[in-house]
Amino acid sequence: MAAQEQVATVVANRHFEDVARLLDTMELESSNPLVLAEWPHAFHLLGHIYNKNLVDARFLWKRIPEAVKQNNPELEAVWKVLQYFWQRHYQGVWQALTAYQRTPKL
């Protein structure tokens, strides 16, 4: 089963707590050294945020190539949410969540 299909199955079954673990495993087991160039970064970050694994989310953010971070409004929006969570600024988290019009896949 392809990565996208596995993630879709986990989400369809509403096992959101498994998203980050599944994507972490897929990233580590990938034989492609450029796996993070074409990765569901925003979804992966949200999985860590959902599980309150903010340290893992920050390390993921640091691994994301700069070229991917640039001109990616969805990823920037999730990064803002992570920053607010990290600072325990929960009003900011809510504002960041409601300020961005998400895409259907997220």
Q: Residue 1 has what DSSP assignment?
A: -
Predicted local distance difference test score (pLDDT) of residue 35: 80
pTM exceeding the 0.75 threshold for the entire prediction? yes
Each residue of 78-87: pLDDT tens digit?
999 999 999 9
CA 30 to chain centre: 17
Q: What is the CB neighbour count within 10 angstroms for residue 94?
A: 12
Alpha helices in 1-106 (DSSP H): 3-12, 19-29, 41-50, 54-63, 66-69, 73-86, 90-99
Q: How far apart are CA 57 and CA 61, in angstroms?
A: 6
| 3-state DSSP assignment of residue 65 | coil
Each residue of 24-76: pLDDT tens digit?
999 888 888 778 777 889 989 999 999 999 999 999 999 998 999 998 899 99
Q: How far apart are CA 86 and CA 52, in angstroms?
A: 10
Q: How far apart are CA 11 and CA 34, in angstroms?
A: 25
Q: Is the pLDDT of residue 1 over 60?
A: no
Q: Is the pLDDT of residue 16 over 70?
A: yes
